[in-house]
């Protein structure tokens, strides 16, 4: 008699989503998490009274997250105190131009027209096209399994509207922006978002160009910190009987005759269950926790061919003044071609410059309770950082780099910053790897281009090991808060169907 009906490895958003839904199905479910808190990249930690979000700093596509809560008999809005972020972001262009993108499409159109009147019509056409694509994707893509070709046929027959957007699958993010916008500043203002999926504009698939539009359907911050979302999933799951153990690391998945039968913990304890769900990096799962001896040769080749996604160094700052910024998010960006050049000439060469670009998240703007009275929280999401730094290790470089980057931001984007820092922490790709056990600090698990998507991403229902299912960023539909939560819904549906 197995100890549990299902064991979930990892309490990230995907793991908690599937765990809670398996409990809802009436399965005795255990979630095992190696760290001391839930959420993975969507988590919050405290230092000297300041609360910092580890990775994710807002959510989009709240509708998808809400579906997961509806399946649990509640709603996202009842479970999480969400603060709308409007404007979606302020963007600081390299030439000094500053733009604000309000939620309302017509207000953003006015902002675009202020900079480049000829692109206002492009914005209208872009918005209309991407609105159609986003809604077709929500219905037909986000919560549909993509395990095999039959699933793909089902996906397109259930939502034939997706076929209309075929050109987005064979072009780049950059091509899509260049098609709709002529002015380099407008293009620049929407280019950085390609890194939200881990690639520069010229390599990022065209369908992700919906991001600058989807932000206008609503961007929200979870009051109290982003951990509010996974904590709500945990709470709902526990009400339904889901059990969760923190600081419990899985050493390996027990496999017999190519069937998962349980897990062994680091202390040697074995826990059995007929269904194992992994919310960790798929390469880590198959190569380390399962072992290549259990995998067919073609699976081994396919697995090794997956590259890890980029890592994102971050600096967490507690400050004793109100920073002179305008909104929750400020994007500090570069012209589109310079973002591409950065990828090849800097990031791929193992370099990490001081003259940075990235996101400034002023989270205490949306929730002043994140810092002591009169103080604020700023999180600098920096440019993609190489796992192996040229010339020296991250640990050696960290103190000096942090000081220089804070000074750079102070001088260029946040006047007074350097004089008001009370708490500062720098999380490098190596720190992410140590803390989240995410190989190479990859924040989206595996690279996310067309050749790593849908049926070419590790399957939610394992093709190599029976009784093994995947959720999280490694599987369809990929990395991000709403997408990993929907991967949990997909895994739960597959388990209900097959187990």
Applying CB under 8 A, which residues contact another protein? 148, 171-172, 174-175, 202-203, 282, 286, 296, 298-299, 301-303, 305-306, 337, 340, 449-452, 455-459, 463-464
Both structure tokens of 428: 């490098």
Q: How far is CA 117 from the centre of its chain?
A: 34
Task: Sort 253 into a burial class: Cβ within 10 Å, 0-12 / 13-18 / 19+.
Answer: buried
Task: State in angstroms the smallest separation of the CB of 335 from another protein.
Answer: 12
Closer Cβ to another protein, 321 or 456, answer by number: 456
Edge-to-edge strands of the sheet including 250-256?
250-256, 259-265, 270-272
Q: Using an 8 Å Cβ cutoff, are 120 and 108 in contact?
A: no
- Could you tell me the smallest distance in angstroms from the CB atom of residue 227 to another protein? 31
Q: Cβ 394 to another protein, closest distance in Å?
A: 26
Inter-CA distances, 332 with 27, 84, 93, 356, 384, Å: 47, 21, 6, 8, 13
Least Å from the CB of residue 456 to another protein: 4
Long-range pairs for 82-87: beta carbons < 8 A, 24 or more residues apart: 82/220, 82/221, 82/222, 82/223, 83/220, 83/221, 83/222, 83/223, 83/366, 83/367, 84/218, 84/219, 84/220, 85/58, 85/219, 85/220, 85/221, 85/327, 85/328, 85/329, 85/366, 86/219, 87/326, 87/327
Q: β-strands 29-32, 243-245: how paired?
A: parallel
Paired tokens of 65: 């997250």
Residue 49 or 296 with smaller CB distance to another protein: 296
| Shortest Cβ 302–another protein spacing (Å) | 3
Q: Rank residues 108 and 191 by Cβ distance to another protein and give the closer one.
A: 191
Least distance from C-beta 282 to another protein, angstroms?
7
Q: Quick one: 77 or 169, whose CB is closer to another protein?
A: 169
Smallest distance from the beta carbon of 457 to another protein, in angstroms?
8
Q: Give the tokens for residue 70.
A: 């509806």
Nearer to another protein, 125 or 301 (CB): 301
State how far the Cα of 314 lies from the Cα of 317, in Å rounded to an integer.
10
In the bound state with another protein, the residue whose beta carbon lies nearer, of 147 and 193, is 147
Cβ nearer to another protein, comparing 223 with 259:
259
Q: Which of 462, 6, 445 is nearest to 241 (CA)?
A: 6
Starting at the edge strand that comes first in sequence, how are the strands of the sheet with 376-381 ordered? 98-101, 89-92, 329-332, 358-361, 376-381, 314-319, 421-427
171 or 272: CB nearest another protein: 171
Record the tokens describing residue 30, joined without a space: 């255990």
Minimum separation from the CB atom of position 112 to another protein (A): 23
What's the CA gap between 134 and 151, in Å, rounded?
Answer: 20
Is 178 or 321 the residue whose CB approaches another protein more closely? 178
Q: Which is nearer to another protein, 108 or 454 (CB)?
A: 454
Q: How far is the CB of 178 from another protein (least distance, A)?
A: 9
Length of the chain: 499
Asked if residue 471 lies in contact with residue 18, where contact means CB atoms within 8 angstroms, the answer is yes
At 402, is the secondary structure helix, strand, or coil? Answer: helix
- To another protein, the closest distance from the beta carbon of 210 in angstroms equals 18
């Amino acid at each position: 008699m197995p100890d549990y009906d299902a064991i979930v490895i990892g309490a990230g958003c995907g793991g908690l989503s599937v765990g809670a839904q398996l409990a809802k199905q009436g399965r005795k479910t255990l979630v095992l998490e190696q760290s001391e808190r839930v959420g993975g990249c969507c988590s919050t930690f405290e230092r000297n009274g300041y609360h910092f979000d580890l990775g994710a700093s807002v959510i989009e596509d709240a509708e998808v997250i809400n579906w997961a809560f509806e399946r649990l008999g509640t709603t996202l809005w009842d479970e999480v105190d969400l603060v709308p972020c409007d404007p979606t972001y302020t963007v600081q262009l390299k030439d000094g131009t500053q733009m604000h993108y309000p939620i309302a499409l017509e207000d953003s159109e006015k902002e675009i027209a202020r900079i480049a009147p000829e692109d206002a019509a492009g914005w209208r056409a872009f918005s209309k096209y991407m609105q159609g694509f986003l809604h077709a994707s929500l219905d037909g893509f986000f919560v549909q399994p993509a395990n095999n070709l039959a699933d793909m046929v089902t996906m397109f027959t259930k939502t034939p509207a997706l076929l209309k957007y075929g050109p987005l699958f064979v072009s780049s993010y950059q091509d899509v922006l260049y098609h709709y916008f002529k002015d380099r500043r407008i293009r620049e203002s929407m280019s950085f978002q390609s890194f939200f999926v881990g690639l520069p504009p010229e390599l990022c698939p065209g369908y992700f160009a919906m991001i600058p539009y989807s932000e206008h359907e609503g961007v929200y911050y979870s009051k109290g910190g982003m951990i509010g979302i996974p904590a709500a999933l945990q709470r709902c799951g526990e009400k339904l009987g889901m059990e969760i153990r923190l600081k419990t690391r899985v050493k390996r998945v027990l496999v017999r005759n190519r069937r998962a039968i349980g897990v062994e913990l680091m202390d040697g304890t074995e826990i059995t269950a007929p269904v194992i769900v992994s919310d960790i990096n798929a390469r880590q799962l198959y190569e380390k926790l399962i072992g290549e001896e259990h995998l067919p040769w073609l699976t081994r080749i396919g697995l090794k061919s997956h590259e890890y996604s980029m890592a994102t160094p971050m600096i967490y700052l507690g400050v004793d003044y109100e920073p002179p910024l305008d909104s929750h998010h400020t994007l500090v960006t570069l012209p589109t071609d310079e973002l591409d050049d950065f990828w090849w000439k800097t990031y791929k060469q193992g370099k990490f410059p001081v003259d940075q670009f990235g996101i400034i998240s002023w989270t205490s703007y949306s929730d002043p309770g994140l810092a002591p009275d009169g103080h604020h929280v700023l999180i600098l999401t920096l440019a993609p950082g190489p796992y192996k730094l040229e010339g020296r290790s991250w640990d050696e470089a960290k103190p000096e780099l942090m000081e220089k980057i804070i000074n750079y931001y102070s001088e260029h984007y946040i006047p007074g910053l350097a004089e008001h820092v009370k708490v500062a922490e720098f999380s490098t790709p190596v720190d992410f790897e140590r803390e989240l056990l995410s190989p190479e600090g990859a924040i989206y698990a595996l690279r996310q281009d067309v050749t790593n998507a849908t049926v070419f991403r590790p399957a939610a229902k394992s093709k190599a090991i029976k009784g093994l299912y995947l959720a999280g960023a490694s599987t369809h539909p990929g990395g991000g808060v709403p997408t990993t939560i929907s991967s949990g819904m997909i895994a739960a549906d597959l388990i209900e169907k097959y187990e």
